[in-house]
Amino acid sequence: MKVSSPQFKEKSVIALADPRLRQALGQSRKGFVNKRAELVGALPEFEQLRDEARDLKNHVLDNLDHYLERYEAAVTAAGGHVHWARDAEEARSIILNICQRVNAKTITKGKSMVSEEIGLNDALEAKGYTVVETDLGEYIIQLAHEPPSHIIAPAIHKTKEQVSELFEAAHGGPRKTTVAELVTEARLVLRDKYFQADVGITGGNFLVAETGSSIIVTNEGNGDLTQTLARVHIVTSGIERIVPTLEDVALFLRILARSATGQETETYTTLSTGPRRPHDLDGPEEYHVVLVDNGRTKMLGGKFQDMLRCIRCGACMNHCPVYGAIGGHAYGWVYPGPMGSVLTPLFVGLDATYDLPNACTLNGRCESVCPVRIPLPELLRELRHMQHQQGIRPQGERRALGAWRFVAERPGLYQFANRLAARVLKGLGGSTGRIASLPFAGAWTDSRDMPAPEGKTFLELWQARSKP
């Protein structure tokens, strides 16, 4: 997927001015936040489950080579194939080769963020394949020719009315106006595609080392139809999504659904282990897993290993007030919000992503809800440190920081500068006690008054008071 993160500021300003985006984001996010809070409150051991999930993920990441080898052996034993992709290009070409070999024409897809990450749809369409997204949200944005704006609710930025318009344009009238009508229409259109599909591509929420199974969770059942009815099932997944045993999956399912959509469990949890066996009633003839590195091994063993614990629940963005204001598209790549602001710079480079770690108030709400306790604010701060060291920070900011340090290291000068500022700013405030417009501080005063100081600093008043 193309990276538009350098346009973060422009895109965020456009997003802020979009009333339909504000309406769409406000409603669904509040739903996620409230439902999560309700369910977490009803599960006394939730905090303990978060600790266990964090510890288990850490254990897997510390022994990732071992578990990946065990997983590959288990998939092979079940009759499936594991393919290793170092980067997006390798991943695309592995999948294109499979599709070509089996003479595919129609390809259905369950929701997969890794497939977005490797730019799979464009590559498949360029080769003439018919690609049909079967997740309702993904289907909507496919019709709109837009990237996802949220990792579990890809069309969260669309209002019902916008979906209505898109469906009318794609399926013909009469225009459907209720959610039930829209869902029914999508189901009817998609139903045929499942049967036409030669290849079904899904993501993998969990890959089980013990059994070689891939597991997806959905609320629509679209993933099941995608992977069961096509001749060939391809799973695309990051290498970090391994869990040791099925027992461990149960732990993650409990925290995933609660953190993501505020459900005790998602409607469908589906396990796939290898292709169809002789006595199976259904299932694909071939089963492939494409394990994508694409920058992940570089994060192992370093300061950003914690980020590899991510189970892609979306709670961080649901609770992020910056994401809530601007939505996901401004972030400019596949992964938006707090987790994306850490991942995108690591995956596509610090240069093109300057704003992402900085467009954050470090308020910590994301970390407080992360089911695997990723210290997101600390990782964002670490990225700022790397930007600083590599000289990526704009010169104006560097100068301001340098001046601040120079003054703050000299208490006498610092006190003098503050006394001066207190007087000047009080003067500018006049009798109102606030400043409506301040040269060089338009970034503050364009939208906010600046409360004026009292006229003298605390330290000088304290010293004056303390004198005998």
Partner 1 sequence: MPSSPAARPRVGLFATCLMNLFRPNIGFATAKLLEEAGCTVEVPSAQTCCGQPGYNSGDVDAARALARQVIAVFEGFDYVVGPSGSCMATLRVDYPKLFAGDADWLPRAEALAAKTHELLSFLTDVRGMKAVAADYAGIATYHDSCSGLRSLGIKAQPRLLLGAVGGLELTEMRDADVCCGFGGTFCVKYPEISSRMADEKTANIEASGADTLLGGDLGCLLHMAGRLKRQGSPVKVFHTAEVLAGMATGEGIGGTSK
Applying CB under 8 A, the residues found at the interface with partner 1 are 9, 12-13, 16, 321-322, 324-326, 355, 358-365, 367-368, 381, 383-389, 393, 397, 401, 404-405, 407-411, 414-415, 418, 421-422, 425, 429, 431-434, 436, 441, 443-444, 446-454, 456-459, 461-463
Question: For residues 12 and 272, which CB has a smaller minimum distance to partner 1 in the complex?
Answer: 12
Question: For residues 37 and 352, which CB has a smaller minimum distance to partner 1 in the complex?
Answer: 37
Q: Find all residues with CB under 8 Å of 155, minimum gap 6, and list them.
A: 136, 137, 138, 140, 141, 144, 148, 149, 163
Q: Are 294 and 343 in contact (CB under 8 A)?
A: no
Q: Find all residues with CB under 8 Å of 195, minimum gap 6, and list them.
A: 229
d(CA 139, CA 193): 12
Q: Are 461 and 455 in contact (CB under 8 A)?
A: no
CB of 99 to partner 1, least distance (A): 42
Question: For residues 180 and 464, which CB has a smaller minimum distance to partner 1 in the complex?
Answer: 464
CB of 339 to partner 1, least distance (A): 17
SS3 state of residue 458:
helix
∠ CA 137-141-147, nearest 5°, is 110
CB of 21 to partner 1, least distance (A): 11
Question: For residues 257 and 326, which CB has a smaller minimum distance to partner 1 in the complex?
Answer: 326
CA atoms within a 13 Å half-sphere pointing along the CA-CB vector of 391: 0
Question: For residues 427 and 433, which CB has a smaller minimum distance to partner 1 in the complex?
Answer: 433
CB of 302 to partner 1, least distance (A): 15
SS3 state of residue 376:
helix
CB of 383 to partner 1, least distance (A): 8
Amino acid letter at 202? T
Calculate the dihedral angle through the C-alpha atoms of 38, 40, 42, 47, rounding to the nearest 10 degrees.
-160
CB of 398 to partner 1, least distance (A): 9
Question: For residues 105 and 381, which CB has a smaller minimum distance to partner 1 in the complex?
Answer: 381
Question: For residues 189 and 407, which CB has a smaller minimum distance to partner 1 in the complex?
Answer: 407
Burial of 187 (0-12, 13-18, 19+ CB in 10 A): middle
d(CA 320, CA 37): 15
- C-alpha distances out from residue 175 to 135, 142, 163, 172, Å: 21, 19, 10, 8
Token pair belonging to 411: 């208490």
SS3 state of residue 217:
strand
Token pair belonging to 316: 């961080």
Residue-wise burial string across 395-409, b where 16 or more C-beta atoms lie within 10 A, e elsewhere: eeeeeeeeeeeeeee
SS3 state of residue 111:
coil
Q: Find all residues with CB under 8 Å of 287, minimum gap 6, and list them.
A: 75, 78, 79, 80, 81, 232, 233, 235, 272, 274, 275
CB of 57 to partner 1, least distance (A): 22
CB of 360 to partner 1, least distance (A): 7
Question: For residues 13 and 169, which CB has a smaller minimum distance to partner 1 in the complex?
Answer: 13
CB of 433 to partner 1, least distance (A): 2
Question: For residues 286 and 355, which CB has a smaller minimum distance to partner 1 in the complex?
Answer: 355
CB of 448 to partner 1, least distance (A): 3
Question: For residues 51 and 65, which CB has a smaller minimum distance to partner 1 in the complex?
Answer: 51
Question: For residues 5 and 294, which CB has a smaller minimum distance to partner 1 in the complex?
Answer: 5
d(CA 83, CA 95): 9
CB of 55 to partner 1, least distance (A): 21
